[in-house]
Structure 1
Amino acid sequence: MNGIDDLPVLVRNKAAALGASEWLSELPALVAGLQREWRIAVGPAYEDGTEAFVARATLEDGT
C-alpha cells in the first residue's frame, strides 16, 4: 500500500477545487518514485489531513 488510495476526501476535493487535478493524478507516480529513491515504504495517509498528502513512512531497516 502506498497511501494514495487513502487520501482524505477533503484533500482530494480541495485540490480539485483549486485546479490541482494534475497533482492528484501524478501523486501516485511521485510517491512511488520517492519510495524507490529514498528506500522507504509509505503507509496509509493520515485521515485528518486537510491540505496535503501526509503519511507514515518506514525506512528499509524498519525505522
Structure 2
Amino acid sequence: MMMAQTKLDQNWSLVYLFVKLNLILHIATAICKIKWKIFENGSNDAIIDRFQCMKSRRVQW
C-alpha cells in the first residue's frame, strides 16, 4: 500500500519527503559513480578528436 493512496503523505509530509529524498539519492549516487567510471576509462584526446571531427550543423543563410 502506498502512502499517496492512503493520503498519509499529507499527514506525514516531512516523513514522506525524507523517504522520497532517500530513494532519489541512492539512485543519483549510483548514476554518478557509473558515469565517473566511464569518464575515467576515456581519454581527453579521444573526446577532443571526436568533437573536432563533427560537422557543423548550422544552417547557411
Shorter-chain TM-score tier? under 0.3
TM-score w.r.t. the length of structure 2 is 0.28
**Structure of greater Rg:** 2
Bigger fraction of residues in helix: 2
Which structure is higher in RCO with an 8 Å CA cutoff and minimum separation 6? Answer: 1
Higher strand share: 1
TM-score by length of 1: 0.27
